[in-house]
């Protein structure tokens, strides 16, 4: 039987999910499809209500539907319950379930780049407190991170994360960013700053320890200015594309029954789609 999945959003033309899942379908020789479907907000509940009837095993959900989809499906796990968003929907026994895979995607990307790295008892400095930060903070707290310092332009959003995820979260003002870098074992940019078309992330890396690992969840460009500067200083760096690939793993497994591997070939395929001049 041919199995079908899709990604829904409004707009959706930018999504690279069809390229990722299409690669895995070919790689594992699965008779299935993964399509991109534009769904305007007012049609979301109808679309989800008819998803199984139309023969879909499930879908990915992207902007602006992540919160509305959370309310429309059964929530598969406690970690997703704390987030209030889902990015992956799957059918089981005629019902739709939802989960969020961004947190595990982030942690898996870290583990793949730095075998043996453990969040446990490490100090993490996070720039930003938006939607993606919530998933990452949830995953790091579950992994036992000792201290998570969060500097955000709107401090109230960092305070909210402390309320929701506990006292290991330390909210800071955006103006303190350069100072708190001195504590970092791991530095994560989760703001949209530095993304193609967005303002630059202007930050003084003078206090950053040489031993700190630096990662950015922005993946356009593949190597952000933050990563380039950190690499030049001798820090280990991890690009955001790994998180995008690893967050897709569980959806594919739920819909098509095989846990796929994030390979160097897949990385290269998507990296070339982002930057045709990319060379490994
Ligand atoms: N690699 C992946 O798989 C992956 C997954 C998800 C997201 N992303 C990327 O991560 C980025 C954030 O996504 P999101 O969904 O979390 O977005 P979001 O909810 O809109 O959050 C944006 C964050 O950026 C901050 N920000 C925006 N403009 C700023 C400025 N001029 N100065 C200082 N801070 C600023 C916001 O601060 P305020 O709270 O003050 O507004 C907020 O913390 C995007 O570039 C997205 O493409 C990547």
Tens of pLDDT, residue by residue over 45-60, are 999 999 999 999 999 9
DSSP SS3 for 45? helix
Domain span(s) for CATH 3.40.50.720 in the chain = 103-239
Model pLDDT, residue 10 = 98
Is the per-residue pLDDT at 121 higher than 90? no
**pLDDT tens digits for 210-235?**
999 999 999 999 999 999 999 999 99
Is there a contact between 183 and 123 (Cβ–Cβ < 8 Å)? yes
Which of these, 262, 243, 275, lies nearest to 87 by C-alpha position?
Answer: 243
DSSP SS3 for 96? strand
Domain span(s) for CATH 3.40.50.10860 in the chain = 3-101+248-274
Is there a contact between 39 and 8 (Cβ–Cβ < 8 Å)? yes
Fold classification of 3-101+248-274 (topology level): Rossmann fold (3.40.50)
H-type alpha helices, 50-191: 66-72, 78-81, 102-113, 131-142, 155-165, 177-180
Residue 147 near ligand 1, beta carbon < 6 Å: no
Given the CA of residue 242, which atom of ligand 1 is nearest to it?
1
From ligand 1's centre to the CA of 192, what distance in Å? 4
Given the CA of residue 195, which atom of ligand 1 is nearest to it?
45
Q: What is the CA radius of gyration of the chain?
A: 19
Fold classification of 103-239 (topology level): Rossmann fold (3.40.50)
From ligand 1's centre to the CA of 121, what distance in Å? 26
Is there a contact between 105 and 239 (Cβ–Cβ < 8 Å)? no
Q: Rounded to an integer, what distance in angstroms lies between the CA atom of residue 216 and that of residue 270?
A: 17
Model pLDDT, residue 78 = 94
In the 8-state DSSP scheme, what is residue 101?
A: -
Q: Rounded to an integer, what distance in angstroms lies between the CA atom of residue 117 and that of residue 111?
A: 6
Model pLDDT, residue 227 = 98
Model pLDDT, residue 117 = 86
Cis peptide before 64 (omega within 30 of 0): yes
Given the CA of residue 154, which atom of ligand 1 is nearest to it?
40
Pick the catalytic residue from 4, 66, 120, 210: 66
Mutate to test the pocket of ligand 1, among 20, 85, 103, 130 (most ligand atoms within 8 A of CB): 130
Model pLDDT, residue 118 = 87
Q: Rounded to an integer, what distance in angstroms lies between the CA atom of residue 273 and that of residue 196?
A: 14
Other C-beta atoms closer than 10 Å to the C-beta of 208 total: 21
Q: Ligand 1: which residue has its CA nearest to atom 13?
A: 132
């Amino acid at each position: 039987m041919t199995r079908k999945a899709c990604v829904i959003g409004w707009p959706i033309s930018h999504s690279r999910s069809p390229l990722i899942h299409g690669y895995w379908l070919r790689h594992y020789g699965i008779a299935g499809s993964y399509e991109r479907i534009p769904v305007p907000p007012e049609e979301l509940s109808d679309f989800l209500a008819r998803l199984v009837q139309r023969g879909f095993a499930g879908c990915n959900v992207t902007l602006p539907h992540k919160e509305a989809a959370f309310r429309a499906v059964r929530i598969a796990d406690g970690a997703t319950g704390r987030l209030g968003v889902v990015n992956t929907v799957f059918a089981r026994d005629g019902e739709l379930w939802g989960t969020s895979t961004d947190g595990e995607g982030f942690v898996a990307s870290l583990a793949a780049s730095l075998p043996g790295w453990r969040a446990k008892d490490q100090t993490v400095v996070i720039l930003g407190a938006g939607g993606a930060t919530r998933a990452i903070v949830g995953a790091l707290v579950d992994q036992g991170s000792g201290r998570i310092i969060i500097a955000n332009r709107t401090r109230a959003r960092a305070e909210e994360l402390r309320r929701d995820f506990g006292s290991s979260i330390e909210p800071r003002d955006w103006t303190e960013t350069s100072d708190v870098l001195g504590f970092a074992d791991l530095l994560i940019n989760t703001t949209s700053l530095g993304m193609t078309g967005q303002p630059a992330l202007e930050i003084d890396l003078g206090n950053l320890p040489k031993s700190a690992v630096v990662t950015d969840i922005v993946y356009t460009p593949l190597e952000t200015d933050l990563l380039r500067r950190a690499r030049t200083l001798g820090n280990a760096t991890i690009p955001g594309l790994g998180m995008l690939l690893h967050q897709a793993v569980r959806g594919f497994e739920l819909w098509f029954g095989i846990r796929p591997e994030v390979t160097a070939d897949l990385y290269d395929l998507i990296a070339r789609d982002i930057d045709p001049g990319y060379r490994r």
